[in-house]
Amino acid sequence: MGNDGRKVGYYAAAGIMIAALIIGSLFLSGVQFPGISGPSVEAGTLVVLLTDAPANLSELLVTIDSFSVQKVDEGWVPIPFGSGMTEVSFDLIKLNNVTMKLANATIPPGNYTKMRMTIKDANATFAGDEPEFVILTVPPGHIDIIIHFEVESADVTVVLIDMEADWVAISNNHHLRPVLKATVAGQQES
């Protein structure tokens, strides 16, 4: 019976120590017990803001000096700008929700899979008290637009290119790397 009493004593002591460890751990972790308060800690405030703020630009001028489309298995077909122009310049910021005609040309019927714009130059003017003019680079000098469209004889195919500047690349690296989405906006008989 002496051994049984000692075992009960050991188990009781072990149980009390485990309970004390659990209660101490809960107290240190910050769990509040009724009637028991820990050290007073003043709470802080966290404010998280999310925005899609473009670079503070007053102008984003781009000049395209060649435009072409790639015909399946036949290579690149140059597309003239129209009215005898050899290049087209525009302020991308002013094209927000505005559509500009880039080209209107008669080309051979067939399947086309890509468009290419060669950028002659691009520059940006950062707005502010003292505007900053920067020349932008266009790696690798041209921009390819992946799109599949078909031109049929005697039909008019309209392709809309949505060109959106990568504001981070402009602000941080002075690179023009636009995000381009092209869609076939319509096809009609001429």
Read off the pLDDT of residues 100-133 as tens digits, 9 standing for 90 and up: 888 888 888 888 999 999 999 999 998 888 888 9
- Number of neighbours of residue 39 by Cβ within 10 angstroms: 4
Residue 49 lies in a domain: no
Domain that holds residue 109: 57-189
Q: Residue 50: what pLDDT?
A: 47
The region that residue 128 occupies, defined by phi over 0 for left and psi between -120 and 50 for alpha, beta otherwise, is left
pLDDT tens, position by position, 4-33: 767 667 667 777 877 777 777 666 666 665
- Look at 168 and 90; give whichever has higher pLDDT: 90
In a domain, 122, yes or no: yes
In a domain, 138, yes or no: yes
Two tokens at 77? 């077909």
Q: Would you say residue 104 lies in a domain?
A: yes
Amino acid at 187: Q
Q: Tell me how many degrees the CA angle 179-174-57 measures, rounded to the nearest 5.
A: 75
Specify if 153 maps to a domain: yes
The half-sphere exposure of 57 on its side-chain side, counting CA atoms within 13 A, is 25
> How many domains does one find in the chain?
1
Does residue 103 sit within a domain? yes
Position 183 pLDDT exceeds 80 = yes
For residue 12, being part of any structural domain is answered with no
Domain assignment of residue 63, yes or no? yes
Using CA atoms in the order 101, 107, 112, 114, what is the torsion angle rounded to 10 degrees? -50
Tell me the pTM: 0.68
